[in-house]
Chains A and B, each alone.
Chain A
């Protein structure tokens, strides 16, 4: 019985173990879930519009778009305030 010491060699080289297939299916499901969440607007990174803050790299709530780096973003349009101008 020369095959008794071969152990794993009895498997076919082309056959993938069941645990690999199960993990693969789970991974595909998770990736699909991730993609679906991302496409439906529930993805990672940016908070929903309407919040007071916008993290860097996310679309800003203000038209200027450069307010993302600031900790606070004002949603209400306010007239500009001139600083340093002393009334005469």
Chain B
């Protein structure tokens, strides 16, 4: 199934917007996590964790789920396919794993936010604070790899892609011979 040019452009625009927006939101989240960890100002720490919870819930989570829809739709609606090229497959895996990783981290984010709203964070919370910085850095790195793959599109076809390409060429040759 191949999409029309107009629909393909629309889905591509949505996909780029969601993925790059996700990258930017995680970068902002990392800045807040670093501020929450390093700042000596109680108000800044409190504001950082409250903002992190809001950013995660209302920006990062929706932006992480949307590419899981637009990505497969875009690849299945074009000759690229979803399982034919390694770079598309790797990008899909990065998106799925990053989304799961994010969902796992929602609980500690909510926890830090609720503690910051009620009182000052204690030394027992330091591990979670460091965890937020590490997780945001890892997420940012993973999304940068996915973006790089999308731009460079490195060569490499999966066995399935080779088989499909061979089938299409055989059909094409058969049609040429018939003419």
Interface residues of chain A, those whose CB is within 8 Å of chain B, are: 8, 11, 13-14, 16-17, 19-20, 23, 30, 42, 44-48, 50-53, 55-58, 71-72
Contact = CB atoms under 8 A, between A and B. Distances in A.
Given A13-B162, A57-B107, A51 B125 contact: yes
Most buried by B among A11, A50, A52: A52
Interface residues of B, number: 28
B157 A55 contact: no
B104 A44 contact: yes
Nearest to A71: B118
Q: Is the interface of B mostly helix, strand, loop or mixed?
A: helix
B127 interface: yes
B125 A53 contact: yes
The 10 closest A-B pairs by CB, nearest first: A51-B124, A55-B111, A17-B156, A13-B162, A71-B118, A20-B86, A53-B115, A45-B107, A19-B154, A8-B155
Given A45-B104, A55-B110, A56-B111, 15 more contacts: A8-B157, A16-B156, A17-B156, A19-B86, A23-B145, A44-B108, A45-B107, A47-B128, A48-B127, A51-B124, A53-B122, A55-B107, A55-B108, A55-B111, A56-B110
